[in-house]
Structure 1
Amino acid sequence: MLQKLKFYDYTLIITPILLAAFGLVMVYSASMVFAVVQGHAANYYLTQQSIRFGMGLIGFILCSAFPYRYYQKLIKPIILGVILLLIGVLLFGSEVNNAQSWILGIQPAEFAKLAIVMYLASVYSKKQEYIREFSKAVLPPLIITGIILALIVLQPDIGTASIVFLIACSVIFSSGIRFKHLSLLLFIGLMFLLMTLPYMATDERLTRFTGAYQPFETPASHGYQLIQSYVAIGNGGLAGEGLGQSVQKLGYLTEAHTDFIMAVVAEELGFIGVVIVIGMLSIIVLRGLFISRKAKDSFGSLLAIGISSMVGIQAFINLGAISGLLPITGVPLPFVSYGGSSLLVLLISMGILNNIAMHIKKRELEPAGENQNTRDISQAYRGGRTWHNLNKSTKY
């Protein structure tokens, strides 16, 4: 056990756990007044988030120890389970904030993010020999991706659907497909968007655009949330008003502990606090991309890219919403915002990413003979062969 400690990627252990722990502090600060107004104890949301944090830590530890290559054998039940949960949401789910996205106390759409990363990484890693053939390699996995996207859009949860779509694009782009095939996929996506536009372009969703780009024309309605975010950010200045001293969270800034928690961070901890949070998120994303570059097998590389993209895309959309760069879509800030399903999935993802990093470091520190065995295994995966076709003397 002690020997394994040298293989851990401590950047991917310390950074996300510190960020999630910081999130607990900010969730408590941003939600205590709101909780009391709702009739709960002041620490109600802190308690709920702490429970998910504990579950996430367990998931992180287990996934750090579980060899990531075995997910390829589990991909069918994983993707089937997510699809069934998404269907269950539409049939039996509960509605929160005008979206029917909850069932059994979880949001299956959050788990769909990680599932689609695993699925596409697994499929495209097996198709590397003919990845440049559109109908044989590129197109078939898009059917499952389209089904998952459609089920999320029907909730309707456009924010999460956008994230899943962008994550899928990042994995597909990184898989090595031809540029003209990528252009074709973008064209198909644009046509799909135009076809579904009458359904998605409801009055409520259109007001999100006017609220984002013309907030001061409707300061009491559609632009109210963004204006209060601006006030919070402006109040913070360089060093902030002090932890727990936010004024905007006292009923002015709605969803202060979820979508707009960064506005509370800005008000209480100032520009310095914002830079630290963004810096830690950037470390996670860049570390994941570095791991994807170092991985010797296609599955590990694509899996690392997908997980990094998931964190980076979600952070960008959240920060874009609170700053008026993007419409408000209800996307939480990774690791920091209140949201049990999101935090659980993110910590599990970090465990998987850490396991990929551990295998890379183990390969680098092993003697040359054992490194050759690992390369043989990687080549077997790239060639589409299974574990059982390998020489029995090969050790993993």
Structure 2
Amino acid sequence: MILQQRLQSEFNLGTGDYRSSLDIPLLGAIFTLMVIGLVMVSSASMEIADSLYQKPLYIIVKQLVFVAAGMGLMVGALVLPVKVVHRFSWLALFMSMFLLFVVLFTREINGSTRWIPLGIFNLQASEAAKLMIVIYMAAYLDRRLDEVRTKFSGFFKPLVILGTAACLLLLEPDLGSLVVLMSAAMGMVFLAGAKKMQFVGIVLVLLALIALMIYIEPYRLARVTSFLEPWSEENRYGSGFQITQAQIAFGRGEWLGVGLGNSLMKLFYLPEAHTDFIFAILAEELGLIGALLVLALTLFIAWRALQIGQRAEQKGMLFHGFLAYGIGLLYGTQALINMGVSTGLLPTKGLAMPLISYGGSSLLITCMAFGLLLRIDYERRLLNVEQTDKDGGRRDA
């Protein structure tokens, strides 16, 4: 009710206009995944929470707090005009580099320095930085669109920024976040209309660099080796252990699952069952049908974001459109990589499943991103209403 009054007072819209101003199917898909995430975190975390904290509900209570905070951030982003985000895009870039630099001096956890302690929770710097860099990229494409489409310099300049971020991410190290960020950024440049040959050339170079980074780091190479032969005697109880246990979880789930709460693999057989590999637990308890439902909702959200971006771009709202593209690509890439790792289709990466996995940083940043996405579509619909009132034509969806 408060949000409705705020939006109505800001734009002087009536009740009918307000109800048509938010993308209800998108909002419904987001909330459905959040509820599924809460249920699965609750199911997958009780044993580990009891073991670590002697409180079976410790992790789910924290996740509920993160969900409440995430909803607050989503509403905050929804009532924030996109022009304000555009105006401070340079600050977003500065803050992203600052976070990626500061995190290198924090305490090492599991061989990586990825978290900045903030007292109430640990912020994963790469999660916030990815969204901030996408905001800057959208502003850059808005300002330099002709140069990006016609000159190599327009294509090359953002690569300098991405290269700096890549170096900082590799120092953590966090190759998974680097892959997600590069995929989203390159996707934005492609959708902005960059020359295809330049785009293909840069993508090939990036793939070669990623392959080199995997080859020169023994632990990354071990992950690829275990991915190719996870069931071999050498890998089954070593670097391929998580993959084999996740595949067992999928096999046990069959079509309809073993039932909510009845997972065997979450009983300390599958490491990171409530975080990186929660999709495997979901498939075990809810079966192939439940896994396909989550996949369908994930694809719908990613597709809807791209559709919102296309519609905004067609209205001449270039920053809105490019930012929507970036948000959709960030979310879709990370979610599909997580699913690919859980199913054994991709080498192991330490990436959370957005809206599903336990963790404050991923949930908070994802909610903020979706708030921005809903705001982008809201302003596009508002412009469409104004144009319809002026021209007397048919209004788009």
Match of 2:378 in 1: 358
Q: Does 1:184 align with 2:204?
A: no
Change (3 A) 1:66 1:126: same
Q: Does 1:121 align with 2:134?
A: no
Aligned counterpart for 1:130 among listed residues 141, 147, 168: 147
Amino acid in structure 2 at the alignment position of 1:366: E
Match of 1:272 in 2: 289
Aligned counterpart for 2:86 among listed residues 68, 72, 75: 72
Match of 2:27 in 1: 13
Aligned counterpart for 2:319 among listed residues 299, 307, 310: 299
Amino acid in structure 1 at the alignment position of 2:325: I
- Determine helix, strand or coil for the equivalent of 1:334: coil
Match of 2:163 in 1: 146
Q: Name the CA distance, whole Å, in 1 between partners of 2:296 and 2:114.
A: 31
Amino acid in structure 1 at the alignment position of 2:358: Y
Q: Note the 1:303-314 alignment, pairs <5 A.
A: 303-314=323-334
TM-align CA RMSD: 1.8
- Determine helix, strand or coil for the equivalent of 2:114: strand
Match of 1:320 in 2: 340
Match of 2:304 in 1: 287
Q: Note the 1:1-396 alignment, pairs <5 A.
A: 1=5, 3=14, 4-91=18-105, 93-104=106-117, 105-190=122-207, 192-193=209-210, 196=213, 201-217=216-232, 218-295=235-312, 296=315, 297-366=317-386, 368=388
Q: Name the CA distance, whole Å, in 2 between partners of 1:178 and 1:275.
A: 36
- Determine helix, strand or coil for the equivalent of 1:253: coil
Change (3 A) 1:73 1:19: same
Q: Name the CA distance, whole Å, in 2 between partners of 1:194 and 1:288.
A: 30
Contact 1:149 / 1:161 at 8 angstroms: preserved in 2? yes
Change (3 A) 1:263 1:195: closer
Residue by residue over 1:294-339, the C-alpha shift from the partner in whole angstroms, topping out at 9 and shown as x without a partner, is 1122211111111111111111111111111110011111110112
Change (3 A) 1:259 1:133: same
Contact 1:363 / 1:371 at 8 angstroms: preserved in 2? no
CA shift for structure 1 position 279: 1.2
Q: Name the CA distance, whole Å, in 2 between partners of 1:32 and 1:278.
A: 25
Amino acid in structure 2 at the alignment position of 1:178: K
**176-185 vs 206-215, which moves further:** 176-185
Change (3 A) 1:350 1:172: same
- Determine helix, strand or coil for the equivalent of 1:215: coil
List alignment gaps of at least 5 residues for structure 2: 9-13, 393-397
Q: Name the CA distance, whole Å, in 2 between partners of 1:32 and 1:123.
A: 45
Q: Name the CA distance, whole Å, in 1 between partners of 2:299 and 2:229.
A: 30
Contact 1:314 / 1:331 at 8 angstroms: preserved in 2? yes
Residue by residue over 1:103-148, the C-alpha shift from the partner in whole angstroms, topping out at 9 and shown as x without a partner, is 1220110011111211111101111233234344222222111111
Q: Name the CA distance, whole Å, in 1 between partners of 2:360 and 2:51.
A: 21
Contact 2:258 / 2:287 at 8 angstroms: preserved in 1? yes
**115-124 vs 201-210, which moves further:** 201-210
Change (3 A) 1:121 1:367: closer
Residue by residue over 1:314-368, the C-alpha shift from the partner in whole angstroms, topping out at 9 and shown as x without a partner, is 1111111111111001111111011210111111111111011112222233354
Change (3 A) 1:180 1:321: same
List alignment gaps of at least 5 residues for structure 1: 373-396
CA shift for structure 1 position 6: 2.9
Amino acid in structure 1 at the alignment position of 2:112: A
Match of 1:383 in 2: none
Greater relative CO, 1 or 2 (CA 8 Å, sep 6+) = 1
CA shift for structure 1 position 191: 5.6
Q: Name the CA distance, whole Å, in 1 between partners of 2:361 and 2:72.
A: 14
Q: Name the CA distance, whole Å, in 1 between partners of 2:28 and 2:178.
A: 30
Q: Name the CA distance, whole Å, in 1 between partners of 2:211 and 2:24.
A: 45
Q: How many pairs does the alignment contain?
A: 369
Change (3 A) 1:123 1:41: same
CA shift for structure 1 position 264: 0.7
Match of 1:384 in 2: none
Contact 1:208 / 1:327 at 8 angstroms: preserved in 2? yes
Contact 1:12 / 1:350 at 8 angstroms: preserved in 2? no
Contact 2:214 / 2:221 at 8 angstroms: preserved in 1? no
Amino acid in structure 2 at the alignment position of 1:348: M
Q: Name the CA distance, whole Å, in 2 between partners of 1:366 and 1:237.
A: 52
Q: Name the CA distance, whole Å, in 1 between partners of 2:267 and 2:290.
A: 20
Using the size of structure 1 for normalisation, the TM-score is 0.89
Change (3 A) 1:44 1:334: same
Q: Name the CA distance, whole Å, in 2 between partners of 1:49 and 1:25.
A: 10
Q: Name the CA distance, whole Å, in 2 between partners of 1:342 and 1:116.
A: 16
CA shift for structure 1 position 193: 4.0
Match of 2:395 in 1: none
